[in-house]
Amino acid sequence: MTAALQAVGLSRRFGGLLAVSDVSLELSVGELHAVIGPNGAGKSTLVNLLAGEIPPTSGSVRIDGQDVTGWSAWRIARCGIGRSFQRTNLMPDMTVLENARLAVPARHLWRRLRPNHPSMANARSALARVGLADLTDRIAATLSHGQLRQLEIGVALALQPKVLLLDEPLAGMGPEESEAFAGLLRELAQDHAVLLVEHDMDVVFSVAHRMTVMLDGRVLARGAPDEIRASPAVRDAYLGHDV
Amino acid sequence: MQLAGLFAQVLNGLQYGLLLFLISSGLTLIFGVMRVINLAHGSLFMIGAYLAYALAGITGSLWLALPAAVAGGALFGAALEYTLFRRFREREHLDQVLLTFALILLFEEARSALVDNQFHSVAIPAMLDFSVRVTADFAYSAYRIAVLGICLGVAALMFIGVERTRVGSAIRAAAENAEMVDLLGIDARRLHTLVFAVGTALAMLAGALAAPLQSVYPGMGDGFLIISFVVVVIGGLGSIAGAFWAALLIGLIDTLGQAYVPQAAGTAIYVLMAAVLLFRPAGLFAKG
Amino acid sequence: MRCATLRGNLLLAVAALVVACMPFYASPYHMQLASIAMIAAMFALSLQLLVGGAGMVSLAQAAFFGLGAYTVYLLGRTLGRPPSILVSLPASAAVAGIAAALIGPFALRTRGFFFLMTTLAFGQMLFFVFHDTPIGGGADGVFIQRPDLGFALTRASRTPVFLLTDLAVLAAMYAALWWLMHTLFGSVLLGIRANEDRMRAMGHNVTRVKLAAFVIAGALAGIAGHMAALNDAFVNPELLGWHRSAEALLIVLLGGIGALHGPILGAFAYTLIGEFGRSITERQRLVEGLVILAAVLLLRRGLAGLRFAR
């Protein structure tokens, strides 16, 4: 079986800095793969490389076996890669429903947007899945921080992607919200391939199937959560002794 | 094609390109550092030319006009920045376009009220009103040679100022990232006033230098404004070196084009701009 | 972009009716003034699609307006007789739209200020084509044969007939844009205005959508130019000059950037202010400059911000 998303030897150089160095990765549907590492380890750059936001200096990316290296972000999104952003990145003056509706692949461009427009049903079901079914008519800017984080993922889901790239979805959340979010992440992993970049170690270790630890742009360690927890190298470099 | 004629056209092209550099380097600096688009930059050129016309009329010579254009331009630019452009910085593009468009209209109206709507010529200073014999069959205007020299001197000063001084490093940092300026311990507001004053002085100096070469007339800044934009797009925004080479390139293409293929000359530089946008959208001389 | 509510559209319809009845109560002078305002409204509406729709501030719009006007002249010269409006109107739209489709891919490689500069430069390139070459009859402009409306016009019937034609075209253009902004395309445009990068991550070919908007806006500006040629029977290169693009931007701002009906209000206000200015002073640029300063500094949301829309 080919992986939903496969990266081989991905590197990216910014001037003199090698932000991501020779990272390979495979993701399959039903799997939640967490990437952890200290700030500046290259996690966000990795997400941007996989999403086509920036082209890699070397290495390749495949989606369902197809080589998409160097494709622009919108083409990669249409291949079934949905992403959320570390800093909430939405259309603040639009309603929740409008935000999600815009994420739907742009067919039927020239039809009036009535409630039965083909893009509407997708958007509604995506919003229902992240728990925003009752807030569809609110202006996005009026949502709470936690709700905005939900909407970030809802918008990515509305694309009906096979792969979800989630860049610190829990940023700025309290413990209770995080708990609820962990449930959502587990659920999403059942029918998506999920790449999760996250700092909240409690959540990461409770939801991840596999983990990659990055340091200075490189893969430091990879394995199941238990192996990572037990790895001395990871403890020294990153986790410290509080895990 | 006569070799001597070609030589003269190349010199004319270089001299036109250097004048363009004086205008567009100010434009690109102001944009790079302040992120303000100034459509009235061409009008500053016009004001410089009219200042030269007025002073040459009063004193009988252009010589006073050059320092007056630089000093007056610096003061005028500082005043404009302090009273207006400081407030435009945070505004949307549309507002900046319209506000500077309003300045164009008001400057033109002031010009019409203070002088008139006629074409005027400005005499070349008597001291330079002769031709330098370069070879047996080729002579070149001494004034144009002086303009070449003055522009090259100013360009050298600009390079030293931007590349070698602390203020220059702040200017380069600001062009990369506005927040960097504070880190260098330089007062951003003072830097803006300085940059705007320098840009205005350069545009007015260019106007004063150009006054004897072409007539002084209403709306004369408009053409220079557009060409300067082309220079900035080709050279890369915020880059002095890019503006320099792009200005020379445009000056040569435009001048040689007018001389040898006048039908295509009007559009040649725009075709060049389109090609640059296609292959190097960040500018021909941008890094990376 | 906010679109007028049902009540707002009803008010616009009433205003249209008032204009349509002008032949019964107004002087030819006032009818001509209304025509000038309506053509300015069409022109500004085309720009509103870019500015209010996708957040693209273009200074090339006057070039497309001028191309539309010159198409009438070139058609008449080629045919040797006045073209039918059924031919000249689509032709103007097509020529301007094609020009936009040729310039757009280059200009759209840039954003923000660079987009401003490149549209300005490309617009001036077209201006110089008509100013410096004999293709359009020269720098001083040329009188043209008006398009044939299908029936004979007398000197007296001309003004009211043009008034009604302008009104019909303006109404059609407004309705078309209203429909467009209510399609998914319209909301994708607004999404691009709000957050271009996110729209890309959402799978939208942002450049292509912007190009489509640029071409549609160019074609609509061509239609506005066509109507100007019909009314004036005269074209000159100044029609393409960037000062007219800036004027259209002023009208858009005056009416309100965020509202589809804003340019219509703005165009009538601008025409009236200009007329008033002419009556008190010779110095037109002074009046215009002061109006712009007032509009930018005081009237941030435009006339449409005052009422009509939600």
- Predicted pLDDT of residue C309: 39
pLDDT band at C169 (very low <50, low <70, confident <90, very high): very high
Grouping H, G, I as helix, E, B as strand and the rest as coil, residue C241 is coil
Cα(C72)–Cα(C231) distance, integer angstroms = 12
Residue-by-residue DSSP string for C12-53:
HHHHHHHHHTHHHHS-HHHHHHHHHHHHHHHHHHHHHIIIII
Residue C57 with chain B: CB contacts under 8 Å = 93-94, 97
Grouping H, G, I as helix, E, B as strand and the rest as coil, residue C128 is helix
pLDDT, tens digit, for every residue of C183-199?
Answer: 989 999 999 999 999 99
User: Is it the case that residue A243 has pLDDT exceeding 50?
Assistant: no
For residue C242, give how far its alpha carbon lies from the nearest alpha carbon of chain B (Å): 10
The answer to whether the beta carbons of residues C92 and C226 sit under 8 Å apart is: yes
Residuewise pLDDT in 10s, chain B (288 residues): 577 788 888 999 999 999 999 999 999 888 888 888 889 999 999 999 999 999 888 887 788 889 999 999 999 999 999 988 888 777 888 888 999 999 999 999 999 989 888 888 888 887 777 888 777 777 788 889 899 999 999 999 998 988 888 888 888 877 776 666 666 667 788 888 999 999 999 999 999 999 988 888 888 888 889 899 999 989 887 788 889 999 999 999 999 988 888 777 778 888 888 888 888 877 787 654
C249-262 burial, b for 16+ CB within 10 Å, e for fewer? bbbbbbbbbbbbbb
| Domains: count for chain C | 1
CB contact under 8 A, A117 and C184: yes
Residue B105 with chain C: CB contacts under 8 Å = 285-286, 288-289, 292
Closest residue in C to B268 (Cα–Cα) = C125
Report yes or no: B237 at the C interface, CB cutoff 8 Å: yes
CB contact under 8 A, C185 and A113: no
Report yes or no: C293 at the B interface, CB cutoff 8 Å: yes
Report yes or no: C133 at the A interface, CB cutoff 8 Å: no
Using CB atoms, list chains with 3+ pairs below 8 Å to chain B: C
Residue C190 lies in a domain: yes
Task: Tell me how many residue pairs between chain A and chain C have CB atoms under 8 A apart.
Answer: 79
CB contact under 8 A, A113 and C201: no
Q: How many helices (H) and strands (E) does chain B have?
A: 12, 2
Share of chain C above pLDDT 90, in %: 65
pLDDT band at C15 (very low <50, low <70, confident <90, very high): very high
Report yes or no: A165 at the C interface, CB cutoff 8 Å: no
Cα(B286)–Cα(C208) distance, integer angstroms = 26
pLDDT band at C310 (very low <50, low <70, confident <90, very high): very low
CB contact under 8 A, C249 and B105: no
CA angle centred on B48, ends B44 and B50, rounded to 5°: 115
CB contact under 8 A, C200 and A89: no
- Predicted pLDDT of residue C280: 85
Residue C52 with chain A: CB contacts under 8 Å = none
pLDDT, tens digit, for every residue of C76-128?
Answer: 999 989 999 999 999 999 999 999 999 999 999 888 788 988 899 899 889 98
For an interface test with C, give the residue of B89, B91, B93, B99 to mutate (most C CBs within 10 A).
B93
CB contact under 8 A, C183 and A89: no
Residues 232-291, chain C, touching B (beta carbon < 8 A):
242-243, 246, 249-250, 252-253, 257, 283, 285-286, 288-290
Residues 90-119, chain A, touching C (beta carbon < 8 A):
90-94, 98, 101-103, 105-106, 108-113, 117, 119
The answer to whether the beta carbons of residues B91 and C257 sit under 8 Å apart is: no
pLDDT band at C307 (very low <50, low <70, confident <90, very high): very low
User: Is it the case that residue A169 has pLDDT exceeding 80?
Assistant: yes
Q: Give the mean model confidence (pLDDT) for residues A169-189.
A: 88
pLDDT, tens digit, for every residue of A33-42?
Answer: 999 988 888 8
Helix C206-232 and helix C28-48: axis angle, to 10°? Answer: 170
Share of chain A above pLDDT 70, in %: 97
User: Is it the case that residue C167 has pLDDT exceeding 80?
Assistant: yes
For residue C275, give how far its alpha carbon lies from the nearest alpha carbon of chain A (Å): 38
Looking at every residue in chain C, the average pLDDT score rounds to 90
Q: Among B99, B263, B278, select the one facing C296 at the smallest CB separation.
A: B99
Cα(A197)–Cα(A195) distance, integer angstroms = 7
pTM of this structure: 0.90
Residue with tokens 């160097």: A70
Q: Give the mean model confidence (pLDDT) for residues C246-260.
A: 89
Q: Give the mean model confidence (pLDDT) for residues A9-34.
A: 90
Sign of CA dihedral C235, C237, C238, C239: positive
CB contact under 8 A, A106 and C179: no
Q: How many residues does chain C have?
A: 310
Cα(A136)–Cα(A138) distance, integer angstroms = 6
- In the structure encoding, which two tokens stand for residue C211, read together? 């190009």
Q: How many residues does chain A have?
A: 243
Report yes or no: C201 at the A interface, CB cutoff 8 Å: yes
- Predicted pLDDT of residue C49: 95
Closest residue in C to A87 (Cα–Cα) = C198
Give me the amino acid identity at A182: A
Are β-strands A17-27 and A5-14 bridged in parallel, bridged antiparallel, or unpaired?
Answer: antiparallel
For residue B229, give how far its alpha carbon lies from the nearest alpha carbon of chain C (Å): 6
- Predicted pLDDT of residue A240: 62
> Among A199-203, A228-232, C135-139, whose mean pLDDT is lowest?
C135-139
Looking at every residue in chain A, the average pLDDT score rounds to 89
Share of chain C above pLDDT 70, in %: 96
Residue C195 with chain A: CB contacts under 8 Å = 89-91
Give me the amino acid identity at B168: G
CB contact under 8 A, A53 and C187: no
Report yes or no: A171 at the C interface, CB cutoff 8 Å: no
Cβ-based burial of A65 (10 A; exposed 0-12, middle 13-18, buried ≥19): exposed
Task: Report domain extents, chain B.
Answer: 21-220
Q: Give the mean model confidence (pLDDT) for residues A113-133.
A: 87
Using CB atoms, list chains with 3+ pairs below 8 Å to chain A: C
Cα(B157)–Cα(C58) distance, integer angstroms = 36
**Backbone φ and ψ of A19, nearest 5°:** -75, -40
CB contact under 8 A, A110 and C182: no
Residue C200 with chain A: CB contacts under 8 Å = 72-74, 77
Closest residue by Cα to residue A73 from A88, A63, A87, A86: A63
For an interface test with C, give the residue of B229, B253, B273 to mutate (most C CBs within 10 A).
B229
The answer to whether the beta carbons of residues C49 and C110 sit under 8 Å apart is: no
Report yes or no: C153 at the B interface, CB cutoff 8 Å: no
Report yes or no: A121 at the C interface, CB cutoff 8 Å: no
- Predicted pLDDT of residue C278: 86
Domains of chain A and CATH, by start: 1-80+162-175+192-243 (3.40.50.300), 89-160 (no CATH)
- Predicted pLDDT of residue A116: 79
Cα(C40)–Cα(C63) distance, integer angstroms = 14
For an interface test with A, give the residue of C178, C202, C257 to mutate (most A CBs within 10 A).
C202
For residue C32, give how far its alpha carbon lies from the nearest alpha carbon of chain B (Å): 26
Residue C191 with chain A: CB contacts under 8 Å = 91, 94, 102
**Backbone φ and ψ of C254, nearest 5°:** -60, -40
Residue with tokens 């450049």: C207
Cα(C272)–Cα(C107) distance, integer angstroms = 34
Residue C1 lies in a domain: no
- Predicted pLDDT of residue B288: 43
Cα(A186)–Cα(A194) distance, integer angstroms = 10
CA angle centred on B254, ends B253 and B256, rounded to 5°: 65
Q: Give the mean model confidence (pLDDT) for residues C23-30.
A: 93
Most confident of A169-178, A214-223, C150-159, C171-180: C171-180
Report yes or no: B103 at the C interface, CB cutoff 8 Å: yes
For an interface test with A, give the residue of C109, C184, C207 to mutate (most A CBs within 10 A).
C184
Closest residue in C to B110 (Cα–Cα) = C286
For residue B228, give how far its alpha carbon lies from the nearest alpha carbon of chain C (Å): 10
Q: Give the mean model confidence (pLDDT) for residues A81-90.
A: 90
User: Is it the case that residue A22 has pLDDT exceeding 90?
Assistant: yes
C46-61 burial, b for 16+ CB within 10 Å, e for fewer? bbbbbbbbbbbbbbbb
Q: Among C187, C201, C209, select the one facing A83 at the smallest CB separation.
A: C201
Look up residue A35 and give its DSSP letter. Answer: E
Q: Which long-range contacts does B259-268 make (Cβ < 8 Å, 24+ apart)?
A: B259/B5, B259/B9, B260/B1, B260/B9, B263/C133, B266/C125, B266/C128, B266/C129, B266/C132, B266/C133, B267/C125, B267/C128, B267/C129
Sign of CA dihedral A122, A123, A128, A131: positive
Range of C292's domain? 6-21+28-305
pLDDT band at A30 (very low <50, low <70, confident <90, very high): very high
Residue C242 lies in a domain: yes
Residue C129 with chain B: CB contacts under 8 Å = 266-267
Report yes or no: B273 at the C interface, CB cutoff 8 Å: yes
